[in-house]
A and B are shown apart, each in its own frame.
Chain A
C-alpha cells in the first residue's frame, strides 16, 4: 500500500538527487527530473540500480550548469586532498606510523565538523538533510579558515611520525604534469586537476605573473628555472622552483573555488 504511493519514490529520489547532483530542487527539476526518475524507480520495483543508471546517463547529470556546485565535506577535503596530492603512507605492516598519522587527519575531520564515526544523532550529519542550507552548513567563520590552515600545513610542513613525514611535495607533483616548464600549461593543468570550475584568463595571468614569475615579465624565466632544476637538482635550484610552487598551491587551495567539488 505504501509503495503504491508516488510520493514514496519521489522522496527517495530527491535524497539521491541531493547527494549526487545538487541540494536545491526547483519546480522545473521536480517536474522534469524527479517525477520521471520516480516513475523509473517505482516501475522497476524499487530497485536502486535502474534509477542510478538512468540518472548517471542523463543529459541533466552532465549539464555544465550542474557541475562543481557541491561543497566538499570535511572528508572530501582532507582525504580527497591527500589523494589529489599523491601523498603516500607507509606499507600497512607499519601500523604504528600509519595509525598515528591517520589519527591526525581524523582530528582534522572532527575539527572541521565531521566526526565520521560519531554523527550528532540518528539523522546523521545535518549538512546532508537540513533544509534550506544543506552542505553550506560545512562552511562557517570557524571552519573555513581551518580548511585553509589544513591545506597550508600540508604544503608548508606536513605531519611526521616515527621519522616519516607526509607532506604535499609540490615539485614532485609538478613533475607529473604534461609540461611543467611552461608556466601557462602548468597553471592550466593544475587548475584542471584541482578545480571543477575554470578561472578567468585574467586571473590565470595574474597568478602566473605574481607567483610563478615573481613579477617578471617573461615566461622563460620560469622555464629556465624549471629546466635548471631538472638538469641539476641542487638545493639552490630546488628552492627556486619549490618556493614558487608552494606559493602557487597555497593560493589555489585558499581560493574559494577549491571548496567546491
Chain B
C-alpha cells in the first residue's frame, strides 16, 4: 500500500479532515493537521500521474487493431491496405483481435499485463473536422456544444482553486500540468486560467534544464533580447523546480532515436522521477492523416507502419524506463486520436476521416486485456461506413478521474457538461484498490450472454429491441452506419434487474444496417439490425 493511501485510509473522514475524502488537496492536510502534513512531506511516490498521448491527424484504428475474427470482411473492405492475417500480432489473453505487425513493443506490454485496449471509442454525432474533433476530445463537450474549458483543466481547478494566485506555494510547488508541445492547449484550460504549463518543445526544454538560451544576433537588438529572455527564465515561476527535478535524474533507460514521441516521453519520465508532483502530462505525435499511400505495396510497411512502430516503441521504452526508475506504479498513460478512419479504404491506398477508434491505456495500474469487442464490419462496406461507437470517450476520462485520481463519483460528474454526466460509465480500466473507499464495480456481463436483440430481424418498418438491464441507469441508442446517433430510445433508471422492450420506428429510413447500443453500468453492447425494403 502506498504511504499516502495508507494515510487516507486510516484517517477518520468527517471529523478531522473532511476535505480529504472528496479531493486530495494537500492543502487540506496543511490547514487541518500539521502533523499529517509533516508526515506527507516529500513523499512524492504516492501521487498519481496521467500521461496523455495525442496522435494527431486521425489514426486508422482498424489497421492498428485488426479484427482477426472477422478477417474476410476486414480484408474485403480494405484489400489494398489490409494487413495479412498471418502477420497480425496476437494479444495476450485476447482471441480474435490482434495488433499491427510493427507494434511489438506494445505487444510485449500486453504480455506483461500492463496494457489495455478499449475498442471503438467515440461519441454520438461524430465530427469529421480535425480542429473541431480535437476541441471536442479536449473539452469533453457534446458534439453540438461549445465548451471553452478542458476536462483536465476543470479537474485541476477543482483540486487547486484560485490558481494561479498564490501559486506555486509550499503545498503545490510544481506545475499542475505540463504540456510538451504547443503553448496553450484546451485540455488544461480551466474556468478562469489555463492550469497547465507548456514547454514549447524538447529542445527549449533542454535549454531550460541546462540553463542555456538560444543564440541571439550580435547586435543591440540581440543584446536586449537575451536580456529579456534571461529575466523571462528567472521569472518563469516553475523554471527552477523543473530544472531541479530534471537534475535529480542523471541517468535513464534507453529510448529509440529519431522518435519525437520517445523524446517527449523521456522528459516526462525524468520529471516524474525527479520529484515533480505534476499530475497531468500531455505529449503529442502527428502525421496520422494518411489520405493516401498509408502503406507500401507490402502493406505491413509504409507511413502508418512507421508511425505505429514509433508509438509502440516509445511507449515500451517509457514503461521500461519508469520501471527502472522505480516510479512505474505512479504513472498510467492513454493514447487517443481525434477520430478514427473509415472502414473502407480509398483507392489511393489511404483512408478518410472516420469516427470511433480503439485506444490504449498502459501502466502497471491498468487492468490489462481488451474492453469491448471487434467492431462490426458490413459484408460490403461502402465509403461512408464508420465503426459504430462502443464506449464514449468521456467514460474513459471519468473512470480515470474516479479510479486513478480518486475523485468521488459525484465530483467527477460535476466536471462534465450536463446532459452527459448521467451517461458516464465507470469502466474496468484501472486495477482495484488504488484509491481508498472505492469498491470494485460488478464485473461486466460476459460477452457470450445476449443482452440486446431485436425482432423481427431483418425488419421492414419497425422492430422491437429487447434488452436485459441489471437495474440502474440504462441507455438504449440507435446509430446509423455513419456513426451518428439517430435516436435515444431509453434513458432511465430501472429499480431492479429486468428484461424490457422498446420499438424502433424505422418507417421512412433508408434500408441499411442500424446499430442498437445498450449501456448499463459497466456493460455495453452494440447489436446490428438490418432494415430491408419496406
Contacts and interface: CB of A to CB of B under 8 A. Distances in A.
Interface of A: 22, 24, 64-71, 136, 139-142, 144-145, 196-197, 206, 209-211, 214-218, 221, 225, 235-236, 239-240, 243-244, 247, 250-251, 254, 256-257, 259-260
B54 interface: yes
Nearest to A141: B235
A250 B228 contact: no
Contacts of A225: 129, 131
Interface string B273-292: 00000000000101101000
Contacts of B57: 215-217
A143 to B, nearest CB: 9
Consensus secondary structure, chain A interface: helix
A199 to B, nearest CB: 11
Contacts of B225: 197, 256-257, 260
Given A214-B130, A214-B131, A240-B132, A139 B56 contact: no
Given A214-B134, A235-B146, A256 B129 contact: no
A85 to B, nearest CB: 18
Contacts of B183: 210-211, 247, 250-251, 254
B interface bracket (residues with beta carbon within 8 Å of A):
35 or more
A61 to B, nearest CB: 13
Contact of A22 (B146, B182, B201, B220): B220
B224 A215 contact: no
Given A70-B224, A145-B235, A259-B228, 15 more contacts: A71-B228, A139-B231, A140-B231, A144-B232, A197-B217, A197-B225, A210-B200, A214-B131, A215-B57, A215-B286, A216-B130, A216-B289, A217-B57, A217-B286, A240-B135
A241 B228 CA distance: 31
B135 A209 contact: no
Contacts of A211: 182-183
Contacts of A210: 181-183, 200
Interface of B: 54, 56-57, 129-132, 134-135, 146, 181-184, 186, 200-201, 217, 219-221, 223-225, 227-229, 231-232, 234-235, 284, 286-287, 289
B146 A239 contact: yes
A244 B131 contact: yes
A139 B186 contact: no
B186 A218 contact: no
Nearest to B290: A217
Contacts of B186: 243
Given A67-B221, A217-B286, A251 B228 contact: no
Closest 6 CB pairs of A and B: A69-B220, A210-B182, A215-B56, A256-B228, A69-B221, A141-B235
Contact of B219 (A65, A221, A240, A259): A65
B489 to A, nearest CB: 28
Contact of A24 (B181, B184, B220, B289): B220
Contacts of A24: 220, 223
A225 B134 CA distance: 13
Contacts of B286: 209, 215-217
12 contacts: A66-B219, A66-B220, A69-B221, A196-B221, A197-B217, A206-B200, A210-B183, A236-B132, A240-B135, A247-B184, A256-B225, A260-B228
Nearest to A210: B182
A251 B131 CA distance: 19
B288 to A, nearest CB: 9
A104 to B, nearest CB: 19
A144 B230 CA distance: 11
A225 B146 CA distance: 16
Contacts of A197: 217, 221, 225
Given A210-B181, A216-B286, A239-B146, A256 B130 contact: no
A235 B141 CA distance: 15
Given A215-B54, A216-B286, A256 B229 contact: yes
Contacts of A140: 231
B503 to A, nearest CB: 34
B221 A221 contact: no
Contacts of B232: 144, 256
Nearest to A239: B146
Nearest to B218: A65
A225 B224 CA distance: 38
A221 B131 contact: yes
Contacts of B132: 236, 240
B224 A69 contact: yes
A57 B489 CA distance: 79
Nearest to B234: A141
Nearest to A250: B184
A128 to B, nearest CB: 15
Given A196-B221, A197-B221, A141 B184 contact: no
Contacts of B287: 217
A246 B231 CA distance: 25
A154 B130 CA distance: 28
B220 A65 contact: yes
Contacts of A65: 219-220
Contacts of A196: 221
Nearest to B127: A236
A142 B227 CA distance: 15
A141 B237 CA distance: 10
B397 to A, nearest CB: 19
- Interface centre among B54, B129, B284, by most chain A C-beta atoms within 10 angstroms, is B129
Nearest to A241: B131
Contact of B135 (A144, A145, A243, A251): A243
Contacts of B181: 210, 215
Contacts of A22: 220
Nearest to B226: A256
Nearest to A63: B219
Residue of B54, B201, B224 ringed by the most chain A CB atoms within 10 A: B224
A40 B99 CA distance: 81
